Chains A and B, each alone.
Chain A
Amino acid sequence: MKALVVDDSRAIRVILGQMLGDLGYEVAEARHGREALIHLQSHTDTALALIDWNMPEMNGLELVQAVHADPRLVDVRLMMVTTETEMAQMARAIEAGAHEYVMKPFTRSVIEGKLHLLGLPSTHGAAA
């Protein structure tokens, strides 16, 4: 199963990539919204995207809006990766079409729980 991590920080991409990789996901990375959108449009079988808020080029909210507007991408589950300071804006993302959120920092079990809520593979190697 394919997943995409969208974040402008290499370190965060590595952290999230490792977590999803252990669950068996085939993980791709994007540095900002625009890159993510292009990737999703060329890999429409991607099941999950973890999306950061604050990115150059195209931010997380704009990405969610763009994904929502593309009928080919209705099946992608969008999970916002936020921080406490961004929680106030969460409502806007949900309105725009985000399915779930997770607050930084989070542990492996938190993200597993969220994936479970989304009906996605959430145990070790399950997504392979």
Chain B
Amino acid sequence: MQPLDDVVKEFLVESLENLDRLDRSLVDLEQDPHDRENLASIFRTIHTIKGTCGFLGFGKLESVSHVGESLLSRMRDGELVLDASITTGLLAMVDAIRRILAAIETTGSEPGESYGELIATLNRLNAPGPQAAAPPAAAGVLAEAKVDPGPESSPDAAATRRTAVHVADAPARTSEDTVMETEIPDVRGADERSGAGDRRPAIADTSLRVDVGLLDKLMNLVGELVLARNQILQFTTTQSDSAFVGATQRLNLVASELQEGVMKTRMQPIDNVWSKFPRVVRDLAVACGKQVRIEMVGKETELDKTIIEAIKDPLTHVVRNSADHGIEAPEVRIARGKHPEGVVKLRAFHEGGQINIEISDDGAGIDPERVRRKAVERSMVSAEQAGRMSDHEALRLIFLPGFSTAEKVTNVSGRGVGMDVVKTNIEKIGGTVDIQSAAGQGTTLKIRIPLTLAIIPAVMVSTGGEVFAIPQVSLLELVRLEGDQARAGIERIGAATFHRLRGNLLPLVHLHSELNLVSQGDPGVVNIVVLKADDRQFGLVVDAVNDTEEIVVKPLGRQLKSVQVFAGATIMGDGHVALILDATRLAQQAHVLSADRDRKLNDRQGRPLAHETTDVQTWMLFQVNGAERMAMPLHLVARLEEFATGDLERSGGQEVVQYRGEILPLVSLTRFFGGTAGADSDPRQVIVFSDRGRSVGLVVDRILDIVTETITPTRSQARPGILGAAVIQQRVTDLLDVAAIVRHAVPESVPKSVAA
């Protein structure tokens, strides 16, 4: 391979850019074949490519674009009207041109292929005569023409076609990677100033092409500058020289503006990813015999280039899913009283320093019941767990590895990867994914991602003399307990500790014990950083909470890569290095995360899902009826309470207690399992269970422990109120059927609230 001439490089970049736009323009043109403006711009793109080829000696490219140009010029002159087969033909031509450009980019010359078939097809489409005669046959040929007839041609046409598309995509990506367009405002003024010595006043260029590598380097340098600035700012706290302080403040401002400016140069509109979707959706719709329209709002929303790269694949997958699995066939839609044409809508907007992306469709929606069934079938959750889940929680099951609700795997979107990959990829860049769906009305996927990855706001904490940074995206609130609160505010159940935050049990993770450090904090004070990991909250106990800081994320060295609780490192204002904590990993390591997360971890360790019959869960162990050991999943426990016998009242034969402005019915488990009435201890030990607004108190003898264990339940011990038994902590333990007990004890709905 020889180094490419500057002109050829320019040609490649320009052409690939134009081709990306062309995909969309052609799809638009199909919707509105009489849009002259659009037609003219499409024509111009192909015309320019053809015209330039002559200079550069790319004969094949010239002949392919020539037939396309003739076809387009007849359409422009009104002699031909665009139809589906012509669109497909022109798209095939665009793909062919992309492939040729790709070959030129990598090898310096055109590929061996002749493209004779494509040219023949396009010529046929261009042939004068009744249009109706050509289409069906032509479409068939075209489908083949799209298949890259390379030597690796496999009998599986679908697979080959996918390869071809993939190959065609690759060069576009490479060229985007190396060069990005940067708007430099106000160059016009400079042009006018520049005198005759300037060989090229170039009034055309108000924008410059800049190597991304250079921008990355600038970003790095700005990062270093921000660090140096932070260091200097530290000195000002001990300095009284007003000139020095003044200069430092200016430095501070300028550095901030510079940082912002450099970050802006890396920003690209999300349209750079979206522009490919009309084509994707169009091809999919044609392949599945559906009618799908794509709508986009907020195309101009800008994101950091690295993030654009990272969301490209997940977004593509979601959009394909919407068109393939979401939107119904036209006849089904008509039967359901919908417009035969389905709509996939993309929306992007900034909110609170983050980017929100929503992908919604007006398709069939996802049936939570079917998701539950599937998850149980695949032993992802137990039937009991599935039954307990709210519809929203059930929907989120589709983010588990290996989950796919499609009745049949289609060759368009059933590619073996699922929503779990989407979720993992989004989370990798510090984002979150959520899903909403209404049966019959459609599905909406909401993605939130940070604006940039390079510099993030973080709260600095210290433990055992070390400083750690916690990204603010995972931070919910800070809680400080002093004096009596520091003792009474922490509850111990077995080895686990909890803090009761506004009535909810917040599992605590002690940073010093997770990292094997010796706590140096004031024993009279407990600092809790409340973090969100996945959907769960937990409290991270640290020695001290220092400050918030804009930190520059540096990748970890090889030595620390294997320590999963760290997401990276940063250099602080005082020059010391602080490690950045990964909230999700930390929660996993400390076992405070929900079962699905644990399961995911197991998968990563290569355990096959299909053979999995056990449950990794956190269980609350308690004692009932004097000696019986029982367990229930911790996530069902809302609170632990003690009630003095004097506070208990009776209502309709039911023991109740006034609790937080509501009447809480109490169920004595001892009595339920045939024990003596009145044997319950005083004060009553109560596990408060909450589900969909209903709360019930389960009275037990005493709480024993909280354990996270992999258990293998057996059904042999099942009886009313007991799901089965399992060995927990080397002892046989009954697993409580909470749902059955609540149903039995409180048949109808619990009264909502009483006036205090």
A: residues with CB less than 8 A from B are 8-15, 17-18, 21, 26-31, 35, 38-39, 54-56, 83, 85, 104-105
Contact = CB atoms under 8 A, between A and B. Distances in A.
Given A10-B14, A18-B7, A83-B51, A28 B203 contact: yes
28 contacts: A8-B48, A9-B51, A10-B10, A10-B14, A11-B11, A11-B15, A11-B52, A12-B48, A13-B204, A14-B10, A15-B7, A15-B52, A18-B7, A21-B200, A26-B196, A26-B199, A28-B203, A29-B200, A29-B203, A29-B205, A30-B204, A54-B47, A56-B44, A83-B47, A85-B69, A85-B73, A104-B55, A105-B51
B44 A8 contact: yes
B6 interface: yes
Nearest to A7: B48
A39 B192 CA distance: 11
B50 A83 contact: yes
Interface string B170-213: 00000000000000000000000000100111111100000000
B538 interface: no
B742 to A, nearest CB: 69
Interface string B10-53: 11001100000000000000000000000011011001101111
Contacts of A10: 10, 14
Interface residues of B, number: 29
B44 A29 contact: no
B207 to A, nearest CB: 11
B54 interface: yes
B44 A14 contact: no
A27 to B, nearest CB: 6
B77 to A, nearest CB: 11
Contacts of B7: 11, 14-15, 18
A30 B602 CA distance: 61
Given A15-B7, A56-B44, A9 B14 contact: yes
Contacts, number: 72
A29 B55 contact: no
A39 to B, nearest CB: 5
Contacts of A8: 44, 48
Given A85-B69, A104-B54, A9 B41 contact: no
B180 to A, nearest CB: 15
Nearest to B200: A27
Contact of A12 (B51, B202, B203): B51
Given A12-B52, A83-B47, A105-B54, A28 B202 contact: yes
Given A30-B204, A83-B51, 7 more contacts: A11-B10, A15-B52, A26-B196, A27-B200, A28-B201, A85-B69, A105-B51
A14 B53 CA distance: 14
A27 B51 CA distance: 21
Interface in B201-254: 201-205
B727 to A, nearest CB: 72
Nearest to B205: A29
Provide the main secondary structure of the chain B interface.
Answer: helix
Given A8-B44, A11-B10, A18-B7, A29 B52 contact: no
Q: 6 tightest CB-CB pairs across the interface, nearest first?
A: A105-B54, A11-B11, A29-B204, A9-B48, A31-B204, A105-B55
A28 B202 CA distance: 5
Nearest to B55: A105
B457 to A, nearest CB: 40
Nearest to A42: B192
A82 B690 CA distance: 78
B190 to A, nearest CB: 14
Contacts of B55: 12, 15, 104-105
Contacts of B48: 8-9, 11-12, 54
A54 B76 CA distance: 13
A56 B44 CA distance: 8
Contacts of B47: 54, 83
B204 A56 contact: no
Nearest to A18: B7
Contacts of A14: 6-7, 10
Contacts of B204: 13, 29-31, 35
B203 A39 contact: yes
Given A8-B48, A55-B44, A83-B50, A30 B203 contact: yes
A31 B6 CA distance: 19
B203 to A, nearest CB: 5
A28 B199 CA distance: 8
A35 to B, nearest CB: 6
A112 B51 CA distance: 19
Contacts of A26: 196, 199-200
A12 B204 CA distance: 13
A120 to B, nearest CB: 18
Nearest to A21: B199
B44 A104 contact: no
A39 B200 CA distance: 13
Contact of B199 (A13, A27, A31, A54): A27
A15 B48 CA distance: 13
A69 B508 CA distance: 81
A21 B44 CA distance: 26
Contact of B203 (A18, A35, A56): A35
Contacts of A54: 43-44, 47-48
A15 to B, nearest CB: 5
A84 B631 CA distance: 85
